[in-house]
Amino acid sequence: MEQSQRNLRWYNLAIMAFIMVWGFGNVVNNFANQGLKVIVSWILINALYFIPYALMVGELGSTFKDGKAGVSTWIRLTTSPRFAYFAGWTYWVVHIPYLAQKPQMILVAFGWGVLQNGTFTKMFSPMVLQLCTLALFFFFLWFASRGITSLKRIGMIAGTSMLVMSFLYVILMLAAPAIRGVSVATTNWGWETFIPNFDFTYFTTISMLVFAVGGAEKISPYVNNTVNASKEFPRGMIILAVLVALSALLGSLAMGMMFDSNNIPKDLKMNGQYYAFQMLGQYYGVGNFFLILYAFAQFFGQASALVFSIDAPLKVMLAETESKYIPQVLTKTNEFGAPINGYKLTAILVGILIIIPALGIGNMNDLYNWLLDLNSIVMPMRYLWVFVAYMALRRIAGRFTSEYHFIRNSKLAFGFGLWCFIFTAFACIMGMFPKGIAAYTSQWYFQISLNLLTPFILLGLGLLLPSIAKTVNKKISG
């Protein structure tokens, strides 16, 4: 690459990656799980998992700088096309629970923006709300099929606004006791408030931490646009980890000042972000101004994320996978270039995941929390392929060249990849146990059954698809 194209410095890289990886919801969701004990958890997850993960991504991105499909390309070049197909399928199919939750988030944001309270989701039964969610998803699916990109640009503005407001929340909340005389909600600031109990219940919450810091592979295309990548890329990743850690630690501290760490509201995951900005506005005498700004930024940001996540992962999987693994009917496009049959498959899977849980989960808050927890189980499964690619790369050290190496010693590097793989898998498995409801009740059994069956079915479909493709493609060619 010509030197003129190397225009990213370590600080550019760190900021870009931070915007891709982080969000205020990560702070709220993990505080809801652990209270102020999450502060120690953030320190551990950054040091033992996130920094190695980000630096491995840097090496993979530098090695395969011309790859267009990210993880699928890495797997194809280090293992085989079949494994690359499974990696691509995993990357796409884990977005199904994500797509099922986004319309929920849009409804919640809309309710807070219009009514300025959390009563909207209490006005209707879970089934009625889920039917509204399904209708909303179908609308955005149609919107995406038209090749419309304007909402994505609006989403970029909304996403940046949410990030700015997240920092504003932390600064204003930390200053509120001194400036506005606000009382701190958490009264006990002893060690017992911060040190986690490393028991079974604690380990069921770590999948949410992994979910929060994952996604670093999105920055891999920029490795070779970095000035002196071997030095500045790892520096940028370390700064990224510092930014994530500071945001997580200070954000959690601010949440602990606003909400009692020992008496966390049950609906904090669903409504916590809005409570935070509503209370902040009250502290500073501006009413619901902050709340309304954040709610509508969240509305447009989540709508944009929904459209993008319907379209991009599916197109990447279909474009970069060998035709013998994918039925040709799935690659059919409409006049706008959208893979319309792939959209139909997405609609079926998302529709099932939206409606079936409403049959056994009694209220909208539990339904929202369950789907969020399901995302923390399923989404990190795509990170497993990052570590498979990295271990495979280090086993064949010398076959490929890279300007940047996380660790020179191949055996030690392989060990780090194996550790991250095992930790991610462990987090996903432990996350399958329901949280926030009484154990061994009918709802507990219903939720754990869904948590086990959903990833099994979604990933299992990927095992069946090559056989279906072989039969269908043969008929078409015949």
Cα 270 to Cα 118, 196, 267, distances in angstroms: 9, 24, 5
Residues 6+ apart with CB under 8 A from 308: 152, 155
Identify whether the C-beta of residue 167 lies closer than 8 Å to the C-beta of residue 248: no
Tokens of 146: 């038209």
Ramachandran assignment for 403, one of left (phi > 0), alpha (psi -120 to 50 degrees), beta (any other): alpha
Give the per-residue pLDDT at 445: 94
Identify whether the C-beta of residue 322 lies closer than 8 Å to the C-beta of residue 83: no
Q: Which residue blocks in 379-437 are alpha helix, DSSP H?
A: 381-395, 410-430
Give the per-residue pLDDT at 4: 47
Query: CA nearest 343: which of 98, 145, 137?
Result: 145
Q: What is the DSSP string of 288-320?
A: THHHHHHHHHHHHHHHHHHHHHHHHHHHHHHHH
Cα 90 to Cα 160, 383, 435, 440, 478, distances in angstroms: 29, 10, 25, 31, 30
Identify whether the C-beta of residue 426 lies closer than 8 Å to the C-beta of residue 205: no
What is the 3-state composition of the chain as percent helix, strand, coil, each rounded to the nearest 5? 75, 0, 20
Cα 362 to Cα 359, 371, 452, distances in angstroms: 8, 13, 20
Tokens of 308: 């993008």
Identify whether the C-beta of residue 299 lies closer than 8 Å to the C-beta of residue 109: yes
Residue 36, SS3 per DSSP: helix
Neighbouring C-beta atoms of residue 167, cutoff 10 Å:
13
H or E element, residue 197 = none
* Residue 195 CA neighbour count, 13 Å, CB half: 3
Tokens of 287: 């009413």
Q: Position of tokens 């939720």?
A: 447
Cα 200 to Cα 75, 205, 427, distances in angstroms: 34, 9, 12
Q: What is the largest CA-CA distance in the chain?
A: 78
Tokens of 86: 């499974």
Burial of 1 (0-12, 13-18, 19+ CB in 10 A): exposed
Q: Which domains does the chain show, CATH number per domain?
A: 10-477 (1.20.1740.10)
Rounded distance between C-alpha atoms, residue 389 and residue 140, angstroms? 34
Enumerate residue ranges in the chain where pLDDT < 70: 1-6, 67-69, 148-152, 221, 224, 478
Give the per-residue pLDDT at 308: 86
Tokens of 398: 């010398």
* β-sheet bridge partners, residue 339: 333
Identify whether the C-beta of residue 432 lies closer than 8 Å to the C-beta of residue 63: no
Residues 6+ apart with CB under 8 A from 44: none
Neighbouring C-beta atoms of residue 80, cutoff 10 Å:
12
Query: pTM (2 decimals)?
Result: 0.93
320 Cα distance to chain centroid: 22
Residue 339, SS3 per DSSP: strand
Give the per-residue pLDDT at 242: 86
Angle, vertex CA 271, rays to CA 265 and CA 276, nearest 5: 85
Rounded distance between C-alpha atoms, residue 297 and residue 156, angstroms? 10
Rounded distance between C-alpha atoms, residue 399 and residue 393, angstroms? 9
Identify whether the C-beta of residue 56 lies closer than 8 Å to the C-beta of residue 343: no
